[in-house]
Structure 1
Amino acid sequence: MSREPNAQLIAVMEQARVSNKGLAKRMKDTAAARGINLGTTHVSVQRWRDGAGIQPQTAAIMADVLSTKLGRRIRPRDLGFFDHAQPAVPQPVGYPNTVPEVLATLGSLADETVGTPPMTS
């Protein structure tokens, strides 16, 4: 059974001018900074480009890495993945260091607020 290539992921990687190896390294570095051991390699990235599935936490890390690289918000759905990707492990508390990180944080907060039912007294 053949899968369809993930055209969205391929297009965003081309925009970011990042190779499979480059993306894998950035993802591992970002995950390590969050205390997560991620085993992503260039082979994993190629499989995702070829249409293989991805874990939600891994998709969220990939989106964060590409957001930083492109200087704009990227979500897993923008990469052709599901939209419900949330990190399984809470991220450490801290202040964002760059504008893309600030925008990603604010966007995450807005997304959580939208899905939260209104408080009643």
Structure 2
Amino acid sequence: MTDIAFHLVSHKTEGGLPYQHLHVKIATPTGIITPAALKSLTLPDTILWSQGVVIEGKLPLWLSGYLIHACHPAAWVACFDPRLGDAVPHSGGAVVVATHSPQVAEGDVLIVTIPDAIH
């Protein structure tokens, strides 16, 4: 078993833009991992790089940085922030941090909900 688990779900933003929702979970009993976990980490091979990827989950900053870099082939990459969403459960803003697409720009906040399959 790996210390980091991924759950990938195809989803759409509130505005209808399709993306891949990448939920990240620390799968240790303590909820703590070390940077050595990066050495054996592999992303799901089912990611559709032609779409954007929203990274979401409770994870250390250095793991977020690694995942943003690893998802660079995607059309765009965003990080989920629940403080930026609508006032409804499981809603948040996905802040675009990298893009190769004219559909979004760095700094855009896309309103998303966490897919039902995850929560």
Q: What TM-score do you get using the length of structure 2 for normalisation?
A: 0.28
Larger Rg: 1
Larger relative contact order, structure 1 or 2 (CA cutoff 8 Å, min sep 6)? 1
* Larger strand share, 1 or 2: 2
